[in-house]
Structure 1
Amino acid sequence: MQNPIVAEAESTNLQEVTYSYQGRVWRRFWKSPLTIAGIAGLLFLVLFSFVGPLIYRVNPLAINLAHMMQPPSAQFPLGTDDLGRNYLSRVMVGGQSSLIVGFASAVVSMAFGTLYGMVSGMASRWVDTIMMRIVDIILSIPGLFILLFLDAVFKPSVFIMVLILAATSWLSVARLVRAEVLSLKTRTYVEAAQALGASNWRIMLRYLFPNFLGTVLVAGTFSVAISILSVATLSFLGLGLPPPAPNWGAELSSAMNYMFQNSWWLTYPPGLAILLAELSINFIGDGLRQAFDSRM
């Protein structure tokens, strides 16, 4: 049986090494100019979407046919749409549903995908094979088809959209986590923990999860970007959140009806908002990838 003093010393050394590694990781993360640009862009969108409506108090659903299709002016900073609604307020409020659905679906998919991948990696050979074949079968179906099918079956709402997007994005996380678990569970410290009688759950949470946390975080950031784009795609196709609630994809879809009528103010704001969200989140994800990459 191991000496308690030696065990305590090894645990202290392990914690010091872990804290030192974490410090280097976050220093590398904040050192990247693209990371700073991504955080600044995402912070701007969050303030624009959630704080902006509190300052610019204009009802985005108010219809005024006397001000239809007005270009940007002092009264209407981003103009009006085909029903005379204030476009700035609609773009602001439209960002709320896009960002909430994007981030919430990524959190759900990361949590379920991580749990599924850890269980599959630590399970017996036959259980692991069955679980991964289920993932392969779902991955063989085009993701857009699954999204369209689920969106047609269930009445769209923010909660339902979160579940629909999470149902298609957890698969890649599960495969990444399983691969990490298969690689890590053969390490000496894991075998030592098993020899001392540690349960599989303790091994997964105490010894495995901290070592592939970086992989999960990187996959999660890119999942956010994909979810925001998926929300915009479904709304652009008319299958997203039901009107009159605004969102970036629906506003862009409506603007396409007037793109040949010199109504540029209807197209650029939601399109640039989606582009900025995608670039910002991808910059943050790339910064996390470089920070956790030991070769950098």
Structure 2
Amino acid sequence: MTNNLRQAVLDKKFLLTAEVAPPKGGNPARMIEVASKLTDRVHAVNVTDGSRAVLRMSAIAASTILLQHGIEPVCQMACRDRNCIGLQADLMGAYALGIRNVLALTGDPVKAGDHQKSRAVFELESVRLLKLISKLNSGVDFNDQVMPDDALNLFAGAAVDPQLKSWSSLQKRFEQKLAAGAQFFQSQMITDFDKLDKFMTQIASISDKPVLAGIFLLKSAKNAKFINKYVPGVDIPEAIIDRLAKAEKPLEEGVKIAAEQVKLAQDICQGVHLMAVKREDLIPEILNQAGIEPLSIAAIQA
């Protein structure tokens, strides 16, 4: 089975991924419509797994639906809701269904979401989940027992936050995830590209694993202020907020800002991960303004 993301990594392409949320209900039509517009613009589409601890369709089911429509997913896998048995079962099931890319995440706390009385599990966290995936890929389970029905071959990635205040913690976690088997890294939302550059030169340079900068579409000054207030670790500069506030058409200005950030990332790291919550349809325009051609055209030019 073709794995476009893995091949793009091997070919050292500038990597492009984008994020979509599964439906909150049984109808995946909107998700399919949104993701279909990205097929020629990104190497793979991330499918979130209970992001912000908000209930949505299973990421595995949603990823399988995208595969059925010819869209390559990165299936996010969070540790919050499943113990080790459940995680292994889901990873085996995902692989059997054709899913090849997995992003290993610890998961957001239950108190952040819409089911605050639910019980979190967190038997594993992201580093231990990466180690577990490496074991399954080698043909043994968590207890080092040989799996009689074949090994997996999952392409596992991890999250990274280059803007983390503790530089030593950032370096330690990055090195742990590398050692645990991470093949690529997608960053949290980047607003300080000097910090991203410092991270790439002082920490990520120990490895050849690609880092994709998280680029977030800001829709308005109000949206930016909300994110600053409620999203941990994010500090959107006042200059960007003022720029959005003064714009006659804030959404168009947000697209322009995102495109500028994609251009900045091209000079610093190996790719971008685009997040445009509820306006994923604008991701092609962001890439157009950044001067990034559709993948089919880029392949012909290469």
TM-score, scaled relative to structure 2:
0.23
Q: Which has the higher helix share?
A: 1
Larger strand share, 1 or 2: 2
- The structure whose RCO (Cα within 8 Å, separation 6+) is larger is 1
Higher Cα Rg: structure 1 or 2? 1
